[in-house]
């Protein structure tokens, strides 16, 4: 599967008056697509898409009607923080009653089914104005990744996408289904962990996505993320960042290579990026680490 983009959506973002402020296009995300924009009032019908559509309202309240003209028509004034969920492979008739700032997130059904991890397919509900604080924060975090993009954030973005899929599968499924009881999470085996560590060490200077790490362990993305954390106590993106920080610290203390070169060699975009991370992680700066030896 290639990068997700507007062609994988149901067409709302193609309305002529919508001008996205920022999107994840060009970042290589193949399991999720995000777009931030201002929408004007409209009424339209859209064909089915292969992706689930999740809309987070950033302002409000605003009146939204879905199923317009059908026996199941619903209308609701949705406040800021409200969610609109349109399952994949379903037609949509909708009316937006006012101007609105939104974040759209699209993800393929395969990501939801993988996150659910069940034998029976999971169907998502069509929701209008639901509230889910965790899902809201995950979508806002994805937007921050796009707004402040650094190549080294690829694994973090993949992790956020997997968490969005898991939350949808668990809390936003159609019908009264009860999520399965939690079971102890199996950890990566020694062999799997060694293969992942080898890949991390080899690709420390490059963007490294969750799918590539999962493939090294021979697991799906969602199973890999859970088993990696069970093994290390950290999500993959945070573990990878720790490796980069440790390597940068070693090179700073023991060598004379320019700080900017060390930053790039350890997977940071530039010297300022390395400085920002070291200050947040260790409470120090590259220059101070080098000076203190």
What CATH number did the domain enclosing 153 receive?
Answer: 2.60.120.280
If asked whether residues 44 and 146 sit together in one domain, one would say yes
pLDDT of 265 higher than 90 = yes
Number of domains in the chain: 2
Task: Find the CATH number of the domain harbouring 203.
Answer: 1.10.10.60
If asked whether residues 34 and 71 sit together in one domain, one would say yes
Out of 172, 207, 225, a domain closes at 172
If asked whether residues 13 and 101 sit together in one domain, one would say yes
Q: What is the pTM of this model?
A: 0.76
| Residue-number span of the structural domain to which 120 is assigned | 6-172
If asked whether residues 23 and 105 sit together in one domain, one would say yes
If asked whether residues 140 and 92 sit together in one domain, one would say yes
In-domain check, residue 56: yes
Q: Alpha-carbon Rg of the chain, whole angstroms? A: 21
pLDDT for 226-260, tens place per residue? Answer: 899 888 888 898 899 999 999 999 999 998 999 99
Helical H runs in the chain? Answer: 109-116, 133-147, 154-171, 190-202, 210-217, 221-232, 236-254, 259-265, 271-282, 286-292
If asked whether residues 196 and 282 sit together in one domain, one would say yes
Alpha-carbon gap, residue 148 to 273, rounded angstroms = 11
Backbone angles phi, psi at 198, to 5 degrees: -60, -45
Out of 138, 172, 206, a domain closes at 172
**Mean pLDDT score, 73-87:** 95
Alpha-carbon gap, residue 113 to 110, rounded angstroms = 5
Strand order in the sheet with 51-57: 22-23, 33-39, 100-108, 51-57, 83-86, 127-130
Residue 216, both tokens: 């090294």
pLDDT for 132-177, tens place per residue? Answer: 999 999 999 999 999 999 888 888 999 999 999 999 999 999 875 4
Alpha-carbon gap, residue 63 to 196, rounded angstroms = 48
In-domain check, residue 182: no
What angle separates helix 236-254 from helix 210-217, to the nearest 10 degrees?
100
């Amino acid at each position: 599967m290639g990068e997700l983009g507007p062609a994988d959506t149901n067409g709302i973002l193609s309305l002529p008056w919508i001008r996205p402020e920022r999107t994840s296009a060009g970042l290589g995300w193949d399991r999720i697509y995000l777009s931030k924009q201002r929408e004007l009032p409209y009424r339209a019908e859209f064909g089915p898409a292969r992706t689930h559509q999740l809309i987070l309202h950033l302002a409000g309240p605003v009146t939204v009607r879905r199923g317009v003209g059908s026996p199941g028509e619903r209308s609701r004034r949705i406040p800021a923080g409200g969610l609109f969920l349109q399952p994949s492979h379903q037609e949509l008739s909708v009316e937006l009653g006012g101007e609105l700032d939104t974040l759209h997130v699209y993800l393929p059904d395969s990501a939801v089914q993988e996150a659910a991890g069940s034998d029976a397919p999971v169907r998502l509900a069509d929701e209008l104005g639901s509230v889910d604080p965790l899902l809201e924060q995950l979508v806002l975090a994805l937007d921050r990744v796009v707004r402040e993009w650094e190549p080294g954030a690829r694994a973090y973005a993949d992790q956020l996408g997997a968490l969005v899929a898991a939350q949808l599968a668990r809390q936003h499924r159609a019908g009264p289904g009860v999520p399965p009881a939690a079971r102890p999470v199996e950890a990566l085996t020694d062999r799997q962990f060694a293969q992942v560590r080898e890949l991390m060490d080899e690709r420390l200077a490059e963007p490294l996505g969750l799918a590539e790490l999962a493939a090294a362990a021979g697991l799906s993305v969602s199973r890999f993320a859970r088993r990696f954390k069970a093994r290390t106590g950290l999500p993959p993106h945070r573990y990878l960042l720790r490796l980069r920080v440790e390597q940068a610290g070693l090179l700073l203390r023991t060598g004379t290579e320019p700080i900017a070169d060390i930053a790039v060699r350890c997977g940071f975009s530039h010297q300022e990026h390395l400085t920002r991370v070291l200050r947040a992680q260790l409470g120090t700066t590259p220059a101070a680490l080098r000076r203190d030896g």
